[in-house]
Structures are given as structure tokens and as C-alpha cells.
Structure 1
Amino acid sequence: MGKRVLVAEDEQRISHLLKMYLERESFVVDVANNGIEALEKAKHESFDIIILDILMPGMDGFSVLEEIRKTKSTPVIMLSAKGEAQDLKRGEELGASEYILKPFSPKDVVSKIKELV
């Protein structure tokens, strides 16, 4: 069975695209459409890596990451259209493994995931 990936992204076009690219590479992909759903899945299921969008309804990606880090050390890639230095720093301080700016190439995300898992 392939490595498990949680894609937490509220834009369905992006989550569908990532899921399609990852499944082609034999990853098992679960999708969360908001921060609350992402946190529940991350807390109660086991993933090899988590892809977290920062701007999501219900709970932002930074808050989700902060909660995940209380109990798990799963690698996390933050996705964001926000490239400000303070956002990059905050992600790093909270324990993000990587920070990828939108727009991005799905192939680049897959490559980064392969490096981390």
C-alpha cells in the first residue's frame, strides 16, 4: 500500500489536481475541505505527510498545524498564496517542513513530498 497523504485545501480544483497527481505516483490520498475537517483527520488517522493550505474556512492552516504539533511530528507542507516573510517565519516556527507558494506546479509538490517521505 502506498504512503498516505492528507490534502487540506478548500479550493476543490486544487485538491482534485493534487489528488490526481499523487495517486498517479501510488500515494493514497484523503482530502479535507476545511481546517476543522483537516484537524480531525490528522488527529484520528495516520498520514505520512500532510499538505495544508493556510487560508481555509473554519480554522486556518497555521492553527491546524499548531494543534497537530501538540501530538504528532508528521511532515507538513504549507500551501499559500501569501508569500510575506512573517508567514514563512510563522510556518517554520510552528514546525512546517516546507512552504510552497501558489500558483505551483503539481509535479513540484509531488517531488517535494517524495523528498520528505
Structure 2
Amino acid sequence: MANQRVLYAEDEVTNRRLLQIQLQRNGITCDLASDGIQALELYRNESYGVIILDQYMPGMNGDQVAREILRDNPEAVLIAITSDDSELQSLEQAGFREVFIKPLRGKEYIEIIKSYL
């Protein structure tokens, strides 16, 4: 069976909690990181089917974390979340499979996450 765990790194506590609740309602375990450095630590110690990274975080931004993860595992499924839609191209170049623009509305993003698990 595919790995049903998601890692979500986001420095804004409310955003972290909201996505975690949405995923849990869909039967998906979601570990949280409050910054890029913590996200890398969790990634190195656990196994995740999908890794969701906010672009702007203390310590390391999402694209920096993505490059580190992809160096270890080129097959990793990475999704970026940003409020800055001018970042789309650079995030895709960093290796993200999807880029979600904040605020997340509707249920489409949950279905996209589930499609990778």
C-alpha cells in the first residue's frame, strides 16, 4: 500500500492546523513542521507520500528544502504553497509537482493530494 502520510511545513500556525484537519477528515495522517529546517529533520526521520512546503518560512524557504529533498530522493512528491503567484515558475523549476495558491479554498487541493498518495 502507498504511503498515506503527508508532511506539511508552514510557519503560520492557523494555516498548518487547518490543512491538517482537512487531511485528517480524509483519513490522511499529517505531520507538521513550523519551518524548513524542521521539515528537513522530519523528512530524514520519517517516510512521506507527499511533502507540502510553504514557500516563505524562517530558516529555509520551501524551494531550498525541496532541492535538498530532491537531491536525496528525485522521486519525492513535493507540493508548494504560496500566496505569491509570481513564484509559480521558479517553484516549478525547483521541482514541485504542484503549486497551490493561498488561501486554499474548496476541496480540489485535497483531491490533488490524495491522487499522489
The number of aligned residues is 115
Instruction: Give the root-mean-square deviation of aligned CA atoms.
Output: 1.5
Unaligned residue ranges in structure 1 (runs of 5+): none
Instruction: State the partner residue of 2:98.
Output: 98
Unaligned residue ranges in structure 2 (runs of 5+): none
* 2:66 matches 1:54: no
Q: Which secondary structure does the structure 2 equivalent of 1:58 belong to?
A: coil
Aligned partners of 1:23, 1:106: CA distance in 2, in Å? 16
- Is the CA contact (8 Å cut-off) linking 1:75 and 1:97 kept in structure 2? yes
One-letter identity of the residue aligned with 1:110:
I
Deviation at 1:43, TM superposition (A): 2.2
Instruction: State the partner residue of 2:64.
Output: 63
Instruction: Give the % identical residues.
Output: 37
TM-score computed with the length of structure 1 as normaliser: 0.91
Instruction: State the partner residue of 2:88.
Output: 88
1:20-46 Cα deviation digits (max 9, x unpaired): 010111111100000100111112211
1:50-94 Cα deviation digits (max 9, x unpaired): 11000001111010001000011221110001111xx21221122
One-letter identity of the residue aligned with 2:80:
M
Instruction: State the partner residue of 2:26.
Output: 25
